[in-house]
Structures are given as C-alpha cells and as structure tokens.
Chains A and B, each alone.
Chain A
Amino acid sequence: MANAVLTVRGVSKAYGTIQALRDVNLEVPSGGIFGIVGPNGAGKTTLFSILCGFLGADAGEVLVGGQAVRPNHPPPGGMLTILPQDAKFLPSTPLGKQLKFYAELAGMSPREAEKDVHRVLEMVGLPEVYGRTGGTLSHGMYKRVGIAQAFLGNPKVIILDEPTAGLDPHAAREIHEQLRSMRADQTVIVSSHNLSEIEDLCNAVAILKQGTVVRVSTMDSLLQGATEVSFRLPDPAPDDLLAALNALPYVTGARWDKGAGRLRIDVDVSAMPADEAGGELVKFFVGRGVKFMDMQVGANLEERFIRETR
C-alpha cells in the first residue's frame, strides 16, 4: 500500500508457551479511522504494544511513518500516541501538570504545552480537571483525560485501545463526534468490543483471531456483496409470512433467526441486487401490514465478526 502510515510485517510474539501473535501482516492507510476487532485474547493489546515499542516482537518488523519501531527505537517524535488500555496517571500530581509534562517531552515549549493541554481538555469536555488528581475522577472522566493526552500535539497516528469502554452513552457519543471531526491527515486506530461503534466510526477494519489477522477490509466492501436482507420484527415471523416470502421470485429462502430476533431473507442477486430487493421487501411488508423496527441489507459487522471468529 503506497500511502500506508503503519506497516506490520510478519510479526509474532509469544508469552512463554502462549502464542499471542502469529505472523501478523497489516497495512493501515493514512487518514481515517481503522478498526481492529477480535475476541478477548485475540492479541489486539499485544499488537498495539508492539506498534508502540513497549514490547519487542519475537519476529517481524513494524514501520511507523516508514521508520522501524523497536523497544529502544520509538516512533519518530510527534508521530504516534496511544490511549493504553490499562495505564494510570500519577496519583499525587495534578492532571494538568502531567499533560503539560507530556507535551513538553513531545517537543513543545512550556507556553505551547500549557495552551495545548487546555485545548485537549476542552476537547474532551473536561477543562475543570486541570488542577485535579486522577484519584478524584470517575472512571469515565479518567478515560476521557486519557483520550485527551493522546491528542496532545496533534500526532499523525493515534491508537485508542477500547476508548469508550466504561463510558456512559453521552460520553461515548461525544468521543465519537471528536473522532469524526479529526483532521483529514490524522489516522486513528481503534479497538473496541462494541462492534456497532466500530462499524459506525471506521473506514476499514481488521479482524484478529487467536493472534492472526483473518480479514482486512474496508467497511464498505466488508458489508457489500450482500446476499441477505434482514428485518427486526417485534414478534417471531408467522409461517404464512415465511411461505409468502418464499414464493417471491427474487427470494431463495426466508427464516426466523430466534437468537438475533430477525427475519432473514436470502436474495437471488442474479434476479435482483440485494439493496433493490430490500426496497421491494419493504413495500411487500407495508402492503401486508407487517410491522418491523429496522431493515438491514447484508450482514452487519457483528454478524461478520461472529462468522469470521467462530
């Protein structure tokens, strides 16, 4: 990939007998939001730690901005920042002073650092925490200060490991808005267990399973190629409805997915593309007075994720 801001080539890492990553290859394009998803223990945090030079890889290499990253060779200054999943701030030092310290280390003058600290605290909606210590904040506020530090100095690449875990919906939505309003030349890499969040935010996604990348795809292509239209119904679909659907010329099968609470309809895409079939099916339901809460063309990320990582 010509415009890759981050390249991972053949990276493997083991903790004793546990193989955390196996021959991981990945290229993250410059600009936009890139999601990394995977079940617990898939190796997401280990991969992030290697990208940042916190951990050494047993094999392979990582390039950030074209420069190799290893434990004693961090990425170029101002290039990469991270919201680590489990890092803590100093307990006795005011948070504003800590952020100013980070900004000065990144190369800013004390005056610039002070200004930038106020900017990022405003950005996450917490200007009042400048003089407070970490112990006086709620979990959500603490997390938002962590996100604020990642935006100090406007780095080119920002890694956010579970940025909205533990946040209430309002705070999570504010974070999403911040991420969407980023500068075009910034790249954010996000991991989350909230797959609808990833689907909503990201341009592209990589799925990790047992330390291996099983799929890298743009969000559009991941969700395209659909052969299915599904509807969320308030009640299970009755048999007569299923029979009527199966009689439609562009439908190859209809079934009630009890676990997901959805009516799934397989479409013969040679007869009609799935998105057009979706429109016809809406008309069909309205005509029969069938109530539904939403319609989805193709599998969503969660469904794809479950298929890929099963």
Chain B
Amino acid sequence: MRNIRIIARFEVARLARSTGGVLFLALATIIYAYVALKLVRWAAEVREATALADADNPANKILTGFVGWLVDIEPEALTKMIGEHAPFALVLFFVGLAVNPLLAILGTADQTGSDIQTRHIRYLLLRTDRASLYWGKTLGALLFYGVSMAIICGLIGGAAFWGGAIGAGDLPYFLRVWLTLTLFAVPFIALNGLTSAMTGHPGLALVVTLAFYMVVWLISAIGAWAAPQVAFIEYLSPSALKFDLASDDLTVLGKAIGHMAAVTVVAGLIGSTLFKRRDV
C-alpha cells in the first residue's frame, strides 16, 4: 500500500507535466469554458424555460421530449429534474456526462504505456512489485482526473454563482456533478490501464480504447436496428447507462453505478493480470 500511495502521488505530477496531460487539460478547459459561457448568456432564457416547465405548454413538451430523447430520460422525469435543480447546473451535468468518456480516455490513456515503451519501467520494477505499479498508476490517473474536474467544476460553479446563474442552494449539486464525473471516469481509466498493459505504448493504448468505445457504440446502435438483441452489446461500454448517473431515482442511479463497477472490475482484473505476466 505504501508504494501504491507513492506511485499515485508521483503519477499525478507526471500526468500534469506530460504532453497528453497538458492537451487533456487544455481541451477540457476549452469545452467547459465554452459551455459555461453559452449557459451564462442563455441564463435568462433558461430561467424562462424553467418557468415554462411548470406550464402545460406544447413547446415545453417538445423541448423536454427532445432533450429527454438525447439523454435517454423520460420527459416526465426530466421535467421533474428541471424543476428541482438549477438549469445551469443540470445542463452542465448533461454536457459533462456526454463529454466525460472522451476526456477521461484522453486524460488517462498513458498509464503504463510510455513506461513500457521507453523502458523507464526497468528503473521501477526492481524497487516495487508489478501489482503496486499497476494499481498505483491507476489511482494516480484517477486522482489527476478528479483534481482536474474539481478545478473545472469549482471555477464554473463559482463563476455561475457570482454571475447569478445559480443560487447558494445549488452549490452542493455542483459537488455531486464533480463526484459523478470523477467516478464516471473510473471505468475508462480501468480500460486505459488494460490497453496500456496490452499495447505497451501510450498512443496505441489511446487508439485501442477509443476504437473499442466507438466500435461497441456503432455495433449496438446500428445492429439494434437489424436485431434488437444486439443492443445488449452496448453494456460492454462504460457509457451504456451514463445519463442515468444524473437521475435522482436511487434505483436507476444504483443500476448505473453497478454497471460501471462491473466494467471496472473486469477491465481492471484483465489489465493487471496482463501486466503481471508480460515481458517489459
């Protein structure tokens, strides 16, 4: 455990200094800053839309129906969520859930990959065991992602609060947004750990994880038209139930968390086994 802690701490600093880490931070900042700026500008309109949510307005039904289809949430449940949470925070949550897979894959793709590729790993393996190295790097990637998201959510939440887009009562919801986005990154970090150990190359690990994500999505989306049972392939992806993570229904939320945990455990076990056995 001692070495896992030491490796995780070092890994946060390494990722923050790495080219991939800097690119991830830049991309995440641009995406969230863009969305936040748009939301601030639309804050007034969003407040009006919120008011409409309570009205039996056909336009509102079309709007919630469309957004509900996009995020795979029933219009009634979505209407309830809009009534209970600040629209600014809710939209940011949905945007976060939508872009989180890409950002998590980009930000944490290089776990053991570059160490194996450059053989830097040979400086480490005589001083620690492979399991500690693997899980230390996994934990480090999670900490790096969590800290990055904390800074982004904190900055956006603070700006929205001071700009009047949300009230003080909405700030705890930002905490939930941060926690959810960080935990939603866990299965992707596990997948990246697996592809890193499998390929021994940071770029290849990134490509293989992205390819897996896209192929599963394409097969399940296109295949479902031809044969509905093919849609179950979607559950191989950590994203299968991603918008359910925004649900206030504990049963729905628990199911989504359980699915993510299962993907994480499977990817983590395969990845750590591969890493323990491979030549470096």
Contacts and interface: CB of A to CB of B under 8 A. Distances in A.
Interface of A: 49, 52-56, 71-72, 74-75, 77, 80-82, 84, 86-90, 92-93, 97-98, 101-102, 104-106, 149
Contact of B279 (A54, A104, A149): A54
Contacts of B127: 77, 81, 102, 105-106
B14 A54 contact: no
Nearest to B280: A54
Interface in B171-195: none
Given A71-B130, A92-B18, A105-B6, A87 B13 contact: no
Contact of B126 (A81, A88, A92, A104): A81
Interface in B10-24: 10, 13-14, 17-19
B120 interface: yes
A88 B125 contact: no
B3 interface: yes
Given A81-B126, A88-B120, A105 B14 contact: no
Nearest to A113: B6
A119 B159 CA distance: 49
Given A71-B130, A74-B129, A104-B6, A87 B123 contact: yes
B118 A52 contact: no
Given A105-B7, A105-B124, A105-B127, A56 B279 contact: yes
B119 A88 contact: yes
A8 B122 CA distance: 20
Given A55-B279, A89-B120, A104-B6, A80 B126 contact: yes
27 contacts: A52-B125, A53-B126, A54-B125, A54-B280, A55-B279, A56-B277, A71-B276, A71-B280, A72-B129, A72-B130, A74-B126, A74-B129, A75-B126, A84-B122, A87-B118, A87-B123, A88-B119, A89-B123, A90-B120, A92-B14, A92-B17, A97-B13, A101-B10, A102-B123, A105-B3, A105-B127, A106-B127
Contacts of A97: 13
Interface string B233-253: 000000000000000000000
A49 B126 CA distance: 11
Nearest to A89: B120
A275 to B, nearest CB: 43
A74 B119 contact: no
For chain B, what secondary structure do more than half of its interface residues adopt (helix, strand, loop), or is it mixed?
A: helix
Contacts of A74: 125-126, 128-130
Contact of A82 (B7, B14, B19, B126): B126
A71 B277 contact: yes
A218 B109 CA distance: 50
Given A72-B130, A101-B6, A105-B6, A82 B122 contact: yes
B122 A87 contact: yes
Contact of B118 (A88, A92, A93): A88
Nearest to B19: A92
Given A81-B126, A89-B123, 8 more contacts: A49-B279, A71-B279, A80-B126, A86-B119, A87-B118, A87-B119, A101-B6, A105-B128
Interface residues of B, number: 27
Contacts of A101: 6, 10
B73 to A, nearest CB: 42
Q: Most chain-A Cβ atoms within 10 A of its Cβ — which of B6, B127, B276?
A: B127
A31 B191 CA distance: 46
Interface in B99-135: 118-130
B224 to A, nearest CB: 42
Interface string B244-273: 000000000000000000000000000000
Nearest to B117: A88
Interface in B193-240: none
A295 B121 CA distance: 47
Contacts of A53: 125-126
Contacts of A81: 126-127
Contacts of A98: 123
A110 B17 CA distance: 21
A50 to B, nearest CB: 10
A149 B123 CA distance: 8
A92 B280 CA distance: 22
A133 B118 CA distance: 15
Contacts of B119: 84, 86-88
Contacts of B278: 71
A133 to B, nearest CB: 9
Contacts of B118: 87-88
B126 A52 contact: yes
Contacts of A80: 126
Nearest to A50: B279
A105 B11 CA distance: 13
B267 to A, nearest CB: 19
Contacts of B123: 84, 87, 89, 98, 102, 149
A92 B120 CA distance: 13
Nearest to A106: B127
B6 A52 contact: no
Nearest to A94: B17
A93 B17 contact: yes
